[in-house]
Amino acid sequence: MFKYTRHSLKKLETLLEELEYTVRYEKGNFNSGYCIVEDRKVAVINKFYDTEGRINCLIDILGSLEVPVGQLSEPSAKFFRKINELAAGDEEE
């Protein structure tokens, strides 16, 4: 079970920072709720989203990236594995 808390949001932001991505919350016209600037490694998320919306956007972004788990700290790598297991469980249903 995954909890949509500010603590989980912070863990996701830290994970992306370790992947050298900058997470910014701004207003804009995003069809999916977020935008990724690949060449600058910037993820821009709709600032009007609540915690759950922000977490879902960050999880979507992580799903679209090649994540070198060896580059992550141990807590972030563990959290990333947990997210992947939950995502794999959702796809099987």
Give the predicted TM-score (pTM) of the model.
Answer: 0.88
**Model confidence at 91, in pLDDT bands (50, 70, 90)?**
low
Read off the pLDDT of residues 18-68 as tens digits, 9 standing for 90 and up.
999 999 999 978 778 888 887 899 999 999 999 999 999 999 999 889 999
**Model confidence at 14, in pLDDT bands (50, 70, 90)?**
very high
Residue 26: φ, ψ to 5°: -140, 165
The domain locations on the chain are 6-92
Residue 1 pLDDT: 66
Angle formed by the axes of helices 74-92 and 51-64, nearest 10°: 90
Residue 11 pLDDT: 96
